[in-house]
Each structure stands twice: as structure tokens, then as C-alpha cells.
Structure 1
Amino acid sequence: MPQQSAIPAPRNRLLASLPAEDLARIWPELEPLDCEIRKVLIAPDKRITAAYFPESGWVSMVAILAEGRSAEVGIIGSEGMVGLELLLGGEVSTVEAMIQAKGTMLRLSSGAFQRALEQSEAMRRILLRYALAFQQQVTQTAACNGNHALDQRLARWLLMAHDRAGSDDFPMTQEFLAMMLCVHRPGVTVAARMFQRAGLIRYGHGHIAITDREGLEAAACECYGAVCRQFQRLLGTPG
């Protein structure tokens, strides 16, 4: 009998946490994707056709208001999964899932995803714990945006992006950053310049480079650490 080819170790941490037999069962149905920046994976109020497991880059979960303004409510990288509604019994999302930093991911159709949950109690348990951790991130983001200064919020967001970028340098315009933080661009410009003068970051030409991680952590509010601790407690991975 010919031997099965070895399954490469997934770079998505949720998939990597699965027992070997459960991963082997779903591996043939995982479709690798190369995803470009600004691609929408899930649109608001549209049927969700698949779950996505990022391996690099990250996805922003964006709430879009009736008047056209938008704000980021969560960020998902290789630690997580896009399409949690499928896990929790839903079929549509109220927010947009948009790729903010290009990378690769694995796509699992909604039907295959539901079959996998039925066949693997371990997968269901791991994903439910991730859902709880992600809920903490969303909750903390709301509390942070309503109570902390812009420079603290900017530091928190840059740290979260840095955790998922796989590099000290990643693409990001001030205009897009202002939209993610739900503020006007001049405020982001002032805060970014302050961080650059302090030697914490370097920015220009649509890119941001983290040059002093420890200094950025000191500038951030409590919210970054609170989310990281929750991820560590529930999943053993950074948030």
C-alpha cells in the first residue's frame, strides 16, 4: 500500500493545535489562497461560504455604519480564524472581513467546516476557546476606543499589527490607519510623528517600521496586555 504524503505543519496556530488524525481528515479540503490587500473575504449581511485560517498577514473585521464611516473592531492573523459565525450557528456576518496585510491562508468551505466540527470534538473545543479570546479582543477594543487617548490606542494597534506581520516593516497608510481607529487623519499624523521623534517607529511611503518594540509597549494602554493575557490563558498563544 503506498504511503500517504506527509502533511506539512500548518502555520495557522488553531490548525496546528489539532490532533494529527483530525488535521489529516480535513487537510485535503483546505484550499490554499494567496490574498491581496483590501480583498473582502466576508461582506456584511451576505451568506458566509467558507471559514478562513490565515497563515500570514492579517484580516481586519470592520463595522460599516449607515452614513459610510467605518471602524475596525477586531484583527485576525495566524492565531485565529475568519468566519466564527459558522462555529456559533450563524450564516451571515454583520461586519466586513477585509485583508489589511497580504498573505496566505487556508480556506475550508462551510459544508466541510460543519462536517469537521461534527467529526472532531477537539476542533470544536479549540475553536470555541478561540471565539472566547476573540470576543475579549473585540470587547477590549470597544473599551479602549471610548476611554483611552489616541496615542495609546495607536500604540496598541501597532503592537497588534506587529505581532501578526512577521516583520518589523509592514504596509500601512495614515489614511487607512485613521479609518481603522475611527478618528480624523490629522490626529493620527500628530501621534505618528510623536512616536517617530521618540524613535519608536519610522513611517513613510505607505509603510510603517517598528524600531523600538519595548518603547511602544510602554506607550500603549492596558488593553494590549489584557488581550494578550486572555489569548495566553485560553490558547497558549499571543493575542
Structure 2
Amino acid sequence: MSKPTNLLLDQLSAADREALLATAIRVPLILGDDLIQPGQMIHAVHFPLSGIISTVNEMADGRSVEAFMVGREGVAGIEATVIPMRSASRQTIQVTGEALKVDAGRVRALADDRPGLRRMLALYHAGVQRELEQTAACHALHPAERRLAKWLLRCHDRSDSDVMQLTQEYMAAMLGSQRTTVNEAARMLQANGAVAYARGKVRVISRPALEASACECYRKVTALRSGGQSEAA
């Protein structure tokens, strides 16, 4: 198997990476598909090579909000690398790409015998927990425009293009906001020269302008993730 471009896998020693990927299969990530639904057992973990996987929490009234997203920097299904686990959320494909799929039981067995792999997974899991804590505060305290700018930056970090296929309805669902609220926030970002939006596509015009519009949570989460990677190195 060719060398992975997943940044988390690239932190492993060659021996640990080879053992982990010995039975991995390369699978497509198709926009709109679900990897897993709430209540289902997590039988496999996915290391994205490209594309974005979103973990989405859904309420009884049909509303939803994104808890976190995973691109080539991480792994989807991290909770099942410790013990067998059912998913509390929906994992859905936000941006088309590819991933390396590995049986969750095999990951657990390898982590028991390989301290380097176990430590890498633990550090990543801790980083996700920190991000969830920051996101909870962000949703409670920050206005829609700043949260949308942060979310678009996170998408842009994980995309291979300045153009992203994102409808206002989808962005509203991911942010847990009304579509009218997201529409107004998007207009403000366009007025600031940060993005252009048309026909369900967002184009990043000025990355610095988008960063200036984002709340502090984007920089905090980025710093937390960077810190975890340096610890794992």
C-alpha cells in the first residue's frame, strides 16, 4: 500500500503504520452518504486521505448540529478504538474524498500491543474532547457570523480547493441555526470580502478576511490540535 497522506497515520513509526494498514481498504467518501447512524455499532474506523466526515448530533424535533469534523488530520470513529462502542451520533460525508477503512477490533488489538499507536490514539482522542468543550462554549456565546466564519475556515483547512459545495440549508444544519440566520451571516461575510456565495457553492476570496471574521475558537482549537501533534511526535 502506498504511503498514506493522512497526517495522523504519518505520525506513527513505519512498523506501527504498516501493521495498522496491513488489512486496510481504500474506500470512497461520497457526498451525503452516512458512514454510521445513531445507535449502530462502530465496526470500523476511517482515516480520511481527502474529503471531510462530519459527526452530527440530532434532536427529537429534527434539528441538528455538527459536533466536529474530521479530514486528513484525523480519524472518524475514535471512540471505538478503546472499547466496542455504539455511535451516539451520525457520521456523514460533508466533502467527497477517500479514506482508509480499518476494522475497529483490529485497531484495539494492535493498540494493546503497540505503545506508540496507543499513545497517538489517546492524544488524538484528548484533542477531540478539548474541541468538543470549546465548541459547546462557542455555540452558547458567539454570534452566527463568527461561528460561520470559523466553520468555513475549518472546512477550507480540510479541502483541496477554495470552492466548497455547501448549501445554506446544510450550513444551517451544521451550525444548529435557522437558515435565515445563516443567510444573513453569509451576506455579512460577503460584504467583508471574505467569501462569495452562489448556487450552493462557497468560494473563499480572502483567507485573512475570513480569519478576521472568525471567533477566537478557531485559533484555540487549531492551537490545541497543533499541541497534540507536537506531543505525539
TM-score, normalised to structure 2, is: 0.95
- Maintained 8 Å contact 2:36/2:91: yes
The 5 Å alignment of 1:1-239 reads 7-236=1-230
Secondary structure in 1 matching 2:193: coil
Map Cα deviations across residues 11-44 of structure 1 (whole Å, 9 max, x no partner): 1111111100111223221110111011111211
Q: CA deviation at 1:165?
A: 0.8
- Maintained 8 Å contact 2:84/2:105: no
For 1:204 and 1:125, the matched residues in 2 are separated by 44
RMSD (Å) for aligned C-alpha atoms? 1.3
Ranges in structure 2 where 5+ consecutive residues have no aligned partner: none
Ranges in structure 1 where 5+ consecutive residues have no aligned partner: 1-6
TM-score, normalised to structure 1, is: 0.93
Secondary structure in 1 matching 2:50: coil
Secondary structure in 2 matching 1:113: helix
Percent identity, please.
35
For 2:84 and 2:181, the matched residues in 1 are separated by 37
Q: CA deviation at 1:138?
A: 1.2
- Maintained 8 Å contact 2:81/2:105: no
Map Cα deviations across residues 197-239 of structure 1 (whole Å, 9 max, x no partner): 22110111111111111111111111000101101111149xx
- Maintained 8 Å contact 2:83/2:108: no
Map Cα deviations across residues 82-131 of structure 1 (whole Å, 9 max, x no partner): 11121232411111111110100000012222222123211110111011
Secondary structure in 1 matching 2:8: helix
Map Cα deviations across residues 35-59 of structure 1 (whole Å, 9 max, x no partner): 1011111211111110110111111
For 2:70 and 2:132, the matched residues in 1 are separated by 11
Please say which of residues 97-106 and 85-94 is displaced more in the overlay. Answer: 85-94
For 1:41 and 1:168, the matched residues in 2 are separated by 25
Map Cα deviations across residues 134-154 of structure 1 (whole Å, 9 max, x no partner): 111111111101000110101
| Equivalent residue letter for 1:227 | V
